[in-house]
Chains A and B, each alone.
Chain A
Amino acid sequence: MAPTDHDHVVPVWIYVAVLIALLVLLVLTLVTAFFDLDARFHSAHLNMGVAVFIAMCKAFLIILFFMHVKYSSRVVWAFAGAAFVWLGILMTLTLTDYITRPQAPTVAVSPYVPAPAEAPGPR
């Protein structure tokens, strides 16, 4: 799409529908948070995955409709997308490192290691 040559005025009912969808997703994320999905489905991080997925759905709705990206030019798409691509690189490369370490250095150099008790004696 070339840069627009007119202002896109979105009908109000679309904003109302997006708001309702966002509130439904909010209720959904609340309900799922109170079920121990990991225990029920013998999985790891399913609760977290569902929560993050619902948050991403909400973010997409806000970006596409409230922020008008759906009606914007390809350049705006690229700029908006680039922000999240960089965030993806930041997350992926950092987490591939930390999650695959058997023991991270922050654990090893904890300053709270108690000193061995000294035997009482004359000095």
Chain B
Amino acid sequence: MAEDLVIESPHSLVEHQFEDRFQQKEAATLGMWTFLATEVLFFGGLFVSYTIYRHQYPEAFRQGTLDMKWYLGAINTAVLLLSSFFMALAVRAAAVGSNPKIIRYLVLTIVVGSLFLCIKVTEYYIDYRERLVPALNFSEARPREDELGGFTRTFDKFDEWFDSHVSPPIGKAAVRPRNEQLFMLFYFIMTGVHATHMIIGIAVMLVLIWMAHRRRFSAEWHNPVECFGLYWHFVDIVWVFLFPALYLLRNP
């Protein structure tokens, strides 16, 4: 059995600088958290500047928030939480040493993560049709109904229904303030950087699936799955804060 392990997965042994596999795993986890600390500060810088500018131009940012499709953001939050759940199950499958289960749950994570990206792209398309993209087509006047296209108009129809029957937005401006562009810039940069992290994550998961297919992981050695799980959950946490910041602060 021990010889099988060596032949099948030469990396499964403890590297020579470690006492045992638990110390090795501890070192890997610590290294990952150190990387995540730099990521916290990277996104933290964006959040701090967002907060400062929101404090500076509260009404422009609020009008921007009112232009967001909050229900798409909410669906995406649920979708991403679900993908995190599958990721947790993949890490658990790794801890009990089941390569087929690792593959199953990583595939589920990728499928649900891709659904998130599809909804995100749909939102970007709607923003484009609504003339909300700074430096490309932002316009203070809202586009006329016939300029929107049938797809975007469907969402606007739902907005109108929700606004008149459930919760009217307080003081939505007829003409957008010019500095709403600042909000839209933050929106595109923050969600764009977040989506980039997800695309990188999906690429790494494909590699992990390949490794699991080669039966490289075992109950004794599965550090890559464990560390990648930390990364994926971190990306989830970033969205948990992006969602209220960009979609939900609707009241003056």
Contact = CB atoms under 8 A, between A and B. Distances in A.
B210 interface: no
**Chain B facing A: main interface SS:** helix
B209 interface: no
**Chain A facing B: main interface SS:** helix
Interface string B209-252: 00000000001000000000110011011001101110011111
A79 B33 contact: yes
Given A59-B237, A66-B84, A83-B37, A94 B48 contact: yes
A66 B249 CA distance: 28
B30 A75 contact: yes
B81 A4 contact: no
A90 B233 contact: no
B34 interface: yes
A110 B237 CA distance: 35
Contacts of B245: 51
A18 B78 CA distance: 13
A123 to B, nearest CB: 32
Contacts of A9: 92, 95-96
13 contacts: A4-B22, A18-B85, A33-B248, A34-B250, A38-B252, A54-B244, A55-B240, A62-B237, A65-B88, A79-B30, A80-B33, A95-B52, A98-B52
